[in-house]
Amino acid sequence: MDATVTTLASRARTSSRPSAADATAEYHVLLRRLSEASVEKHFQAFRDIPWDAPEFEVDPHDPRFVLGEVDEIGAHPWYQSLPLERQVAIGRYRYAQVAKVGLQFEQLLIAGVMNHLVWARNGNPEFRYAMHEVTEETHHIQMFQEGVNRLGADAAGAPAYFKLLFPLLSSAGAWWPALFFTGILAGEEPIDHLQKSIMRHGGSHPMVDRIMQIHIAEEARHISFAHEWLKHEVPTMGVVQRTAFAVLFPLTMRVLCDVIMVPSRRARRDMGIPRSVAREIWWGSEASGRLLREMFGDVRMLADELGIRGPVTKRLWRVLGIDGRPSRFRAEPARLSA
């Protein structure tokens, strides 16, 4: 009798799982919803931002550019001890630097998506949504660059090695799309976390706030697409590919997070950040280590859903400094996930 009950329970569990065809159908429904949302609500860089409005004018001495404690530079005692004028100058550069690196990541996304979509079959709803996303990303690039220009800080942008590797990284959209989408999430998740934290704590200058508002609103769709694409594709991997992906997933997250969050050597020099301070800010202190872990709550949730954060790979997450409790829901605020 026990064997019968066990067999029936096993059958019940199996029957409750959606078939591959059902999972694909649900995925396609989601893609159509995302596409419709992009049609109904989207932004244009030079229509939805009043660049020349008086309140958007950038005063290089405006104290609203002072970095708050939600920014890892703003939270450090070295920065807080500086004269107001220096804090403002560093703040303007910091906002410009994040925007510059952000737009370079968007350029990578577009290039990689094109490499991926060139193989798309007719009738594949991924093609339509991905093209909506690319359209939105072009406007993000334009608004980020316009913001950088108006901030008046000659931001260094991404490190030289990132620019040199750009062709190889974008080609991953064709030869290993799962790794490419992981890389995109590695760039999108940290900047999304930073921007939401800034807005939750009162924002900054009106121009910077408007750029962040638009980016947060549309990135929610882009991040959702990357999550769902991976949840749809990773289960189809073979054992060897899946094992390799489980190792490369946290490594990609950690490396590309630094490209977004850690200013390049030139940027640190431009802001006058001493090396000893930089080592504490990224990620040598207890507070900065906690921030690093907080940025990856959603990513840990995704990895658990994909089944790639097992007992062995969790050790790698811990070594990389990005382990911890997964989010209970997308975009869970850090104070609720503690």
pLDDT in tens, 79-120: 999 999 999 999 999 999 999 999 999 999 999 999 999 999
Count, residues in the chain: 338
DSSP string, 125-145: HHHHHHHHHHHHHHHHHHHHH
DSSP string, 1-61: -HHHHHHHHHHHHHHHSPPHHHHHHHHHHHHHHHHHHHHHS---TTTSS-TTSGGG---TT
| Chain-centre distance for alpha carbon 157 | 16
Low-confidence ranges of the chain (pLDDT < 70): 1-18, 334-338
- Answer whether 172's CB lies under 8 Å from 183's CB: yes
CA 115 to each of CA 120, 137, 309: distance values in angstroms, whole numbers, following the listed order: 10, 16, 29
pLDDT value for 21: 85
pLDDT value for 335: 56
pLDDT value for 5: 36
> Does the predicted TM-score (pTM) go above 0.85?
yes
Domain annotation for the chain: domains and CATH numbers:
22-337 (1.10.620.20)
Comparing CA positions, the residue from 154, 146, 114 lying closest to residue 266 is 154
In the numeric block, which tokens belong to residue 81? 């001890």
Sorted by sequence, the CB contacts under 8 Å of residue 142 that are 6+ apart come out as 45, 46
Largest separation between any pair of C-alpha atoms in the chain: 79
Q: Which amino acid is at 75?
A: A
Q: Which amino acid is at 240?
A: V
Q: What is the tens place of the pLDDT at every residue in 188-209?
A: 999 999 999 999 999 999 999 9
| CB-neighbour burial class of residue 64 (10 A; exposed 0-12, middle 13-18, buried 19+) | middle
